[in-house]
Structure 1
Amino acid sequence: MVGTASAPALLAQTAPADCPHPFGLYDNMELVYQRQDDHGKPLGTVRERVVRLDSEQSKKQTLTTTTVLLKSGTYDAKNRLQHLRDLTFRCRRDTAFTDGLTQLNPDQLSSFRDRIFAYSPTPLAWPNQPTVGSELPDGGISVDVRSSAVHIAEVYTRVRKRRVVSQQTITTPAGTFSCYQVEAERESATVARADIVMRTTVRVVDYYSPAVGLVKTEVYDKKGRLAEVRLLTAIQKAGQSAEKAKYKVKKS
């Protein structure tokens, strides 16, 4: 059974994170997400662990940027590692930025073995206190796929038409959080030539808390049907063990 956090706990989780610790991230903290299908069946997990926190000031010392390096591992339903990659989150003033690489499905590159990849990410902005109805900047990533001599293809994922539509309270096994609901369109494509494009477009609904980051993500296919859910199930601080939790999402 999933409990509801007490009022003091909820208040602590709704307070905007300060820039030295964007999304409330500290050294060695780990966030655990469960991937589920439209019936709530587990598809696997994603574990993101903080390995380094840094900060730097502008030359005039008027702007401080905090940088968080995370190790992100994707595991299948049998807890076998599928993908491992480094992510960089940042924070400036009142806005945190997640790595555009988070939007790329590694399977998009699986057919290009022994090739050279040049990544060009565009971070996604997450203001601490956005206005409902406001639009957020686009983000994502483009990958130039090459051999040692020639360009082969461009692989990209672009998140656009991002809009803050509401504020909601979301309860997961990790707690109860006051979240902003952000709807967007995510386009993924492989472009071999101008006339050879394999493209997929889905609708994405993110629920994010400035205190802990993304709490829940829903992906809908081109027919508007729920295809996948990613849910924050545990927040593990240094020296703690993340509890295993099962949480099913009911079909609406």
Structure 2
Amino acid sequence: MKYYFLLLIILFFSVNTAKAQTSCSQYYTMVEGASFQYTNYNKKGKEDGKLTYKVTNVNGSGDNISATMVMDMEDQKGNTYSSEYDVACDGNVVKVDFKSLMNEQMLAQMGDVEMDISGTDVEWPNDLNVGQELPDGNVNVKMKMSGVMNMNMNVETINRKVEKKESVTTPAGTFDCFVIYSETKSKMMMANQTFPSRVWLAEGIGMVKQESYNKRGDLTNSSVLTAFSK
């Protein structure tokens, strides 16, 4: 579970799937009860688990709205994990509160662990345009786990840029998307990794598709929207 949690942190910053569509957002769905299912695939195209999100606790109106994203994960072995995090739409920007991901529910699934978390919230502007550069995001996690050594981890999402517009077809339908490129740098113990990724965002839906690559540009894993409802 500890390894899976660390992997989740990396995915959270490279593949943010917050969604809201209100008067202050075009690409993210803050509609009470909306749900989204993503199927994960490995580099060979074999199914590797599922992610399901549901929007709850929507508050506010106009240009200031907040919501909670309830996230259920199922890996390739059928193990399930749950967590939630907060999303806020403030004016022209949607912000994801990374600290809220480390809630009591997630920590309880990890066992005896303490965390110290700091960093910068991930931001997704409402008005995306081809060639636009997006703000970097980062998180620093200091973990104290009973029975094992303490662990420190730093994850940065850098070089975020809107590359192009592209039509994408998934089991959930066909969508006109903006393609956002980014690079995720993770540092944990003596290990340092940097890998690029792309996210396909559709207006009124959010993330439709995501791909991660190795340094050579080869596909390592992907996620595809397979079902949604509002």
Q: TM-score range by the shorter chain?
A: 0.7 to 0.9
Q: Does 1:184 align with 2:189?
A: no
Q: Does 1:36 align with 2:41?
A: yes
Q: Which residue of 2 aligns with 1:240?
A: none
Residue by residue over 1:44-87, the C-alpha shift from the partner in whole angstroms, topping out at 9 and shown as x without a partner, is 1001111211127xxxxxx9421110111110235431x22111
Change (3 A) 1:77 1:145: closer
Kept in 2: contact 1:145–1:153 (CA 8 A): yes
Give SS of 2:216's match. Answer: coil
Distance, in Å, in 1 between the alignment partners of 2:44 and 2:203 is 28
Distance, in Å, in 1 between the alignment partners of 2:197 and 2:99 is 16
Shift of 1:22: 6.5
Give SS of 1:26's match. Answer: coil
Distance, in Å, in 1 between the alignment partners of 2:176 and 2:162 is 14
Aligned ranges 1:94-173 → 2 under 5 Å: 94-100=92-98, 114-146=112-144, 152-173=150-171
Letter of the aligned partner of 1:203 in structure 2? P
Aligned ranges 1:218-233 → 2 under 5 Å: 218-233=211-226
Give SS of 1:24's match. Answer: coil
Give SS of 2:33's match. Answer: coil
Change (3 A) 1:222 1:120: same
Kept in 2: contact 1:103–1:140 (CA 8 A): no
Change (3 A) 1:84 1:235: same
Shift of 1:99: 4.4
Aligned ranges 1:229-248 → 2 under 5 Å: 229-237=222-230
Change (3 A) 1:123 1:36: same
Residue by residue over 1:152-172, the C-alpha shift from the partner in whole angstroms, topping out at 9 and shown as x without a partner, is 432122110101110111111
Select the residue among 71, 88, 91 that pairs with 2:86.
88
Q: Does 1:69 align with 2:62?
A: no
When Rg is computed on C-alpha atoms for both structures, the one with the higher figure is: 1
Distance, in Å, in 2 between the alignment partners of 1:51 and 1:22 is 17
Change (3 A) 1:223 1:180: same
TM-score normalised by structure 1 residue count: 0.70
Shift of 1:42: 0.5
Shift of 1:114: 2.5
Q: Which residue of 2 aligns with 1:212?
A: 205
Distance, in Å, in 2 between the alignment partners of 1:40 and 1:102 is 32
Shift of 1:144: 1.8
Aligned length: 202
Kept in 2: contact 1:45–1:74 (CA 8 A): yes
Change (3 A) 1:200 1:39: same
Select the residue among 51, 56, 60 that pairs with 1:51.
56
Change (3 A) 1:174 1:147: closer
TM-score normalised by structure 2 residue count: 0.76
